[in-house]
Amino acid sequence: MSSDKPFRVHLAKSGRTVDVGASETILEALMRSGVEVESSCQSGTCGTCRTRLVSGVVDHRDFVLDDDEHASNIMICVSRAAEGDLTLDL
C-alpha cells in the first residue's frame, strides 16, 4: 500500500471536500472528518459501505461490485482514486 497517493474527495450533497492521505482509506478520512458513513468489514467484501459515485476515475479494489456497478458505485473502505479527485453522492 506504500505506493498509494493522497487525493481529495468532494461530497456533492454537503459541498464538503475531504483530503484522503496516502495511508488511509476514503472511509477512514470521512470518519475522521465527522462524516457519517456506514461500514462493517472494511475489507471490500460485505457491501455495507457502498457509495454512489458522481464522478472521477476509481481504482476499484472491492470484491462486491460487478463491472456495471463499478460505473456508478464505489466501496469506500478499500477503493481509491486512480487519478485526480473523486466526487461522491454524500
The β-bridge relationship of strands 7-11 and 17-20 is: antiparallel
Binding mask of the shown chain, residues 17 to 46, with x at each position contacting ligand FES by CB under 6 A: ----------------------xxxx-xxx
Based on its alpha-carbon atoms, the radius of gyration of the chain, rounded to whole angstroms, reads 12
Q: How far is 69 from 6, CA to CA, in rounded Å? A: 24
Least separation in angstroms between CB 28 and ligand FES: 11
Which residue's C-alpha cell is 488511509? 24
Q: Which is nearer to ligand FES, 15 or 79 (CB)?
A: 79
Q: Which is nearer to ligand FES, 64 or 90 (CB)?
A: 64
Least separation in angstroms between CB 19 and ligand FES: 20
# binding residues, ligand FES (CB under 6 A): 14
Binding positions for ligand FES, rule: CB under 6 A: 39-42, 44-49, 62, 64, 75, 77
